[in-house]
Every structure is written in C-alpha cells, then in structure tokens.
A and B are shown apart, each in its own frame.
Chain A
Amino acid sequence: MKTVLPMIVTFVGGAVVLLDYFVEGSWISATSNAFLSWSVLLAAFSTFLGGANILFIHVRNLKDRRPNWGLSVILVLSLVAWFVVGVVGTTESDIYKFVWENVYSSLSATMFALNAFFIASAAYRSFRLRGAESAILMTAAVLVMMGRVGIGEAISSRLPMLADWLMSIPGTAGMRGITIGGALGAVTVGLRVILGLERGGTGMSV
C-alpha cells in the first residue's frame, strides 16, 4: 500500500493534467486546476519539513559540540529571529524590509558577482590546448570574445560580424539540437513517471 498508493495518485494526477492539455472539457480543466493548486499547497507544507530538517541537524551539532558548532548557533538564532520577525511583524514591517535589503540582498549580490571571476578561472582551465576539441573551443571563444570588445573591432571590423555569426548560426543550431533532445527526454521521463515506471518519489528503489 505504501508504494501502490503514491503510484495511483501519480497516475491519476498526471493523466488528468496531461488530458487537460489535449482535450477541451470544463470538468477536466477544473480537476486539473484543482490538482495544480493542491500541489502548490503541498509544496508550501514541505517548506516546514525542510525547516525542521535544518533545525534538527544544527541543534544536534550544538548538543554534540561538533566541529564548527558556533556556526550552528548563528544559523539557529538567525532562523528563529527571522521567522519571528516575519510572522509577528509580517513581511511588510520595517525591520523585515531593512534586513532583506541590507543583509540578504547584499549577500546574494556578492555571491552572484563571484560568477564573473569563476567564469575566468573555468575558461582558463578549459581553453588549455589539450587536443582538437579544446583547440576548436578555444578558437571559437577567442573569436567571440574579441568580437565583443572594442579592441577586436579596432583590429578588424569583421571580427564583430564573425562573433555574431558564431553565436547565431553554429551556436544556436547546437543549442536547439540539445533543447529538442532534452525536450523529448523530458516527455519520456514524464510518461515513465505517470505510468509508474519511474518510482523515485514512492520510496521504492528506482
């Protein structure tokens, strides 16, 4: 029952939503919309499970005085304080907005900005000439980079055109091929999930 019930729920839910895509009918649309709304509710509930998991792990770190337990103290205090501020003062309160804008947003922007440096370091490693493939990769990358900066245009007015061609013809063709293959793969996985052949969510071995 523990495995059959999730499979039945998956089949009914998936089949109705799929049917709604192909068939017009008020009851099908209504049922499909209801299922989608329930999934949003379930996802919201699972946030509490996630929060419980964080607390469980870090409170245990604290109790057992594991290495770096001081970081767990900061995390638990921040979590509880942020929860209280959000629930008591609502997300419209001044404290909530202040912390969001001055702490969370700044930290997020800092993390995201690191991508610029990581692109450089990853590119440096992958563009090293190790064979024919990396030579093609490096040549294309150098041409695109040169075509995108002023010095490239100063060297030759054709470099920006070449960069555009590389991006819009071979680049787009390759990306579209991957997208079509990926989309067909996604359809196959979706069908397997609906038919109960992909049992990742049921707890049975997949």
Chain B
Amino acid sequence: MLRAGSIADLTVLVLMIASGIYYYRKFASDKVVPIRRIRGLDTIDEAIGRATEMGRPVHFTTGFGDLVADTFAAFAVLDYVARQCARYNARLIVSNSQPVVHPITENIVKTAYTMEGRPDSFKSSDIRYLSDTQQAYVSGVWGIMEREKVAANIMMGYFFAESLLLAECGNRVGAFQVAGTASTPQLPFFVAACDYTLIGEELFAAGAYLTRDPVRIGAIMAQDIAKLLVIALIALGAVMYTVGSTFLAGLCDL
C-alpha cells in the first residue's frame, strides 16, 4: 500500500522515468543532440591546457559532502578531467575529505588513465585522503595548493563552509578555478571567488554535457520536463490560492 502523501512524488518520478526513456530513444539515433552551452564546463579544457603549458598540476576536490547526488555528478566531471589530464600528460591531484569517496575517486582516475593508454602515469599517491574533519581537510588542501603551485583548481560536489577558504587559497596561488555545487549557501562564495561556477542543476548536467551520451541526455530532458511541470504548478497554484482555492495544494499533498 502506498504511503500517504507520496502519490504526487511517485507521479513526478514515473513521469521523469517515462520521459527519460522517450528522449533516450529519440536521441539514440541522432548524431547531434541539442544541449545548451555551459561555459563552466567548456573552460575545463582551457584549465587543463593551461596547467599542461605551465607544467604545473591540476587539483580536483569533491568538497566536504558525503556520497550525495552532487558527489556522484562530480564523479562524471572527474572522469573527464582525468582522461584529459592523461591525454595531455598533466599531473592530476585529487584530495578527498570523506573516506567513502576516496576509493571511488582513485578507481575513476586509475580507470581513466588506463583507458587513455597511460596506466604508468597514474600515481596512487596523487589521490589523497586528507581528513573527515572540515578544517583539517581545508588546511590539507591549502598545503597541497601552496606546495604544488597548482595551475588549475576544479571543485565539484557538495560544499559547506570550506568553499570560500578553498577558493581563496586557489586564487592566492594564481590557479584557474572552476567550481560547481547545488549547495545554495555556498554558491555566492564560488561565484565571487572562482573564474567559472556551475550553478545547481548545471552540475548534474555535467555528465551528459561532457560525454554527449544519449542516456544521460535523455535524463536531462526528463529533468527539464519535470521542471516545466513544477513551474506550471507554481504558477497555477499561485493563481488558485489567490482566488481562495486550495484544490491544487491538496492534490500535491496526496
């Protein structure tokens, strides 16, 4: 039996799955899939190219967040960054704050280097677990950025109060910085301190944008359909509530 109050949620979920499958089938045969330009993701190549030219490392971190959706979205970006670093022979340093995230990032980077035919360039000592206490993690990242003089600092995932501390250190060492998070309290800090910032859903679209995989593009389209539905419900709900009807509010509570 369905839980009370979950029917509306289930309806949105089913709609998202159905539209995801529909758009996957639609885009599976298309060679060019329409997706709007995300400047923050385009500049990742520029950041890695800059690091390669300067002979300095690229630094990547997923923030203080645990294994949440933002972190999984960040894994897709890490895979792309690791592949590009392997391709251009740029050194990649990954620092982790969560012990559960650490082995996954190591796996991703190792696989990316192997897929690019450079398994010898992979150094497990460059994938570092620092600390699961916030300020110790920050000081560890500071140390890495200052000592290694990183040329690019890519911060993708779920961030807390460490966001500005990390971004300002990156700025101090002259790193080109790209950040992305869905954590709304931290977004203003990234916008103020980084060169480019992926805001909210842009981070979740990163995997689709970078790989152009039809399955992922289908999922992004499903997300857009749900977003349109939410916008329509907000507009309709505002009008209905203004004229004194609580029908829609009751429908959403089902």
Contact = CB atoms under 8 A, between A and B. Distances in A.
A185 B69 contact: yes
A157 to B, nearest CB: 27
A48 B161 CA distance: 25
A50 interface: yes
A88 interface: no
A49 B134 CA distance: 18
Contacts, number: 190
A185 B208 CA distance: 12
Interface in B138-153: 138-139, 143, 147
B182 A182 contact: yes
Contact of B115 (A175, A190, A205): A205
B193 interface: yes
A112 B3 CA distance: 43
A155 interface: no
B100 A46 contact: yes
A178 B203 CA distance: 11
Interface stretch (B8-16, B32-40, B45-53, B242-250): B8-16
Interface string A1-45: 000000000000000000001111100000000000000001100
A27 B51 CA distance: 53
A192 interface: yes
Q: Which of A24, A123, A182 has the most CB of B within 10 A?
A: A182
Nearest to A119: B164
A192 B72 CA distance: 10
A185 B135 CA distance: 29
A132 interface: no
Interface in A185-206: 185-193, 197-198, 200-206
Given A42-B100, A56-B125, A186 B204 contact: yes
B4 to A, nearest CB: 9
B9 A22 contact: yes
Interface string A105-129: 0011001101100110111011000
A205 B112 contact: yes
Contacts of A188: 16, 20, 204, 219-220, 222-223
Given A182-B200, A188-B16, A125 B192 contact: yes
Interface string B100-127: 1011100110111001000000000100
A48 B192 CA distance: 37
A91 to B, nearest CB: 14
Contacts of B204: 182, 185-186, 188-189
Contacts of B138: 111
B129 A181 contact: no
How big is the B interface, by class? Answer: 35 or more
B216 A53 contact: no
Contacts of A190: 69, 72
A122 B192 contact: yes
B128 interface: yes
A139 B102 CA distance: 42
Nearest to B71: A200
Given A21-B3, A60-B125, A185 B76 contact: no
Contacts of B108: 200, 203, 205-206
A68 interface: yes
A175 to B, nearest CB: 5
A191 B21 CA distance: 12
B16 A187 contact: yes
A151 interface: no
A62 B164 CA distance: 32
A14 to B, nearest CB: 11
B134 A108 contact: yes
Nearest to B126: A57
Interface in B158-180: 161, 164-165, 167-168, 171
A47 interface: yes
A205 B219 contact: no
Nearest to A45: B99
10 contacts: A50-B99, A125-B192, A126-B193, A184-B227, A184-B230, A185-B204, A187-B13, A191-B13, A191-B219, A197-B216
Interface of A: 21-25, 42-43, 46-51, 53-54, 56-57, 60, 67-68, 71, 104, 107-108, 111-112, 114-115, 118-119, 121-123, 125-126, 175, 178-182, 184-193, 197-198, 200-206
